[in-house]
Amino acid sequence: MRRVMSGFFRRLRSPRSLRKQLLATSLLILSGLLLLIGVLQYVLMRNFIYSNRAESMEAQLRSVPRDFFYRLISGDFSNPFGGGSGSLPGNSPSSQRNGEGGRPLLLDAHTTIAAYSSDGTFTDLQQDTLSDSAAPQLTNEQYNELLTHTTEKATGSYRLITASDGSQHLAVFMDLGRPGSNKILLQMSVGTGPLRDVIVQQLLIFAALAVVALLAGLFLYLPALRKTLVPLSNMGEAAQRIDAGNLDVRFPVDQGQTEIDKLSHSFNGMLERLEVSFRSEREAKEQMRRFAADASHELRTPLTSIHGFLEVLLRGAADNKEQLYNALNSMHGESKRINKLVEDLLLLARMDGAPQLRVKELLLDGIIGEMQPQLLVLAGSRKVTFDIACGIRGMADPDKIKQVILNLFHNAVQHTDSEKGAILLSLHARNTEAELTVSDNGSGISAEQLPHVFDRFYRSDSSRTRKYGGSGLGLSITKSLVEAHGGAIHAESTPGKGTFFRITLPCLAD
């Protein structure tokens, strides 16, 4: 039972629903504000009612001539308040002395009048005022202090006095200004019970209105809150539809709430990044699958060739020196292809990871100058033109730059006619970049094949590249090396007219 009750109160203290939490928090804040207003209302109303009552009592005291109070205190006549209405200020003294009943000051039964003299004498005029209770009394020190501060002018100030029977009285004081050695302080008091009844009645009315306001807030705020949380519910429904298979789902935006719209934009941006990441991962897996298949194919071809030659030799061809030589020569060529392919694959693997370049400051035109004899031998009968600007310095790995130039030049040689082929290699500076171009007048590349020339194992003319030992990795390696140096490579081609490769590399200003 204890567990059940503790669980109930735990749920009561902390509702799980956001709507209920907002409702409970709002009603709690509203209740706190109403309670604060009630406390302030009590304090301000109490002071206002007491001050008004004090002002009316002071006005009532000051409307009576002072001589009347002097005679009343000194006892010049036995019944100064007799005579009914004739005992009001302005009536004849004879009617006061006749002892006729009445209350000349129109005092109710809860009002008392007393006088304190500076010699310590306290005179209660209960019998003369026909009050139901005795006048409350302060200490002599308090009365003496009041004598020093109280004037004959109305100030609206009052003091609360607790009588001997525990009742509370509101008292005002007036200095009668009696000439002579003893000063007289006149005290008029009234019980605060009726005043408190008025205050309590007003507070009860306020409490009833507060309860009505809370109930009205409960029934009116629920629909408004439900409508306000509709955009959040829409986001929840959209989130339930999202999984790894449909990351193209987006949260609704522009629902009319700035915070929710901002949250939707943030989630949509995250989903877009996730979608790009998943797409890149799928493409990487597909590329890896193709890479493994192409690498297996490239390795299987020379291995199959070597295996075939070995079978021929085992069948007796080894006894024939000419057949043995041809077979060994072919196997040597295939093994060189395998070795070149493995080296290219290892280089690509290193470039995909953390490429280690031995970078130093060098002259790019000097690198090309060193390679000119090798390039001319590689070109054979083809026409080679060099357009090289001098003094272009950069930070690069000289061996990797040579490999880039050699790959592009070798690609141009493979795709141009051995007799009519023409190759142009140029190097110029463009602001903070060095522009290296290699162009030829070969067969060119079609528009459909051009976007794939830098893909691994891609060959636009498989039969011809295989004839020259190509594996489709040269341009991929070239692109990786250029990007490792912070540069970029771009290819343009027109079928039947040739191909143009442009490389841009950072260079040092003079």
Q: What is the mean pLDDT of residues 417-421?
A: 88
> Is residue 354 pLDDT above 70, yes or no?
no
Q: List, for residues 47-89, the tens digit of each pLDDT value.
A: 888 888 888 888 888 888 777 777 777 765 444 333 333 333 3
Fold (topology level) of 355-506: Heat Shock Protein 90 (3.30.565)
pLDDT reported for residue 281 = 80
With a pLDDT cut of 90, the percent of the chain lying above it is 6
Q: What is the rounded average pLDDT for all residues in the chain?
A: 77
Count of CA atoms in the C-beta half-sphere (13 A) of 127: 8
Output the pLDDT for position 39: 86
Could you tell me whether strands 488-494 and 111-117 are parallel, antiparallel, or unpaired per DSSP bridges? unpaired
The pLDDT value given to residue 470? 54
Residue 310: predicted pLDDT? 78
DSSP β-ladder status, 393-396 and 433-440:
unpaired
Domain boundaries, the chain: 355-506
Using one digit for the tens of pLDDT, what is the confidence trace for 197-236?
A: 888 888 888 888 888 888 887 777 777 777 777 777 777 7
Higher pLDDT, 179 or 199: 199
Between 52 and 284, name the one with better pLDDT: 52
Question: What confidence tens digit (pLDDT) does each residue in 1-16 have?
Answer: 556 545 544 554 555 6
Helix (H) or strand (E) holding 435: strand 433-440
DSSP 85: G
Q: Find the mean pLDDT for residues 407-422.
A: 89
Question: Does residue 434 surpass a pLDDT of 80?
Answer: yes
Task: Please tell me which residue, 88 or 445, carries the higher pLDDT value.
Answer: 445
CB count, 10 Å around CB of 263? 16
CA distance 332 to 340: 12
Instruction: Work out the average pLDDT over 32-47.
Output: 84
CA-based end-to-end distance of the chain: 89
Task: Report the C-alpha gap between 296 and 307 in whole angstroms.
Answer: 16
**Residue 501 pLDDT > 90, yes or no?**
yes
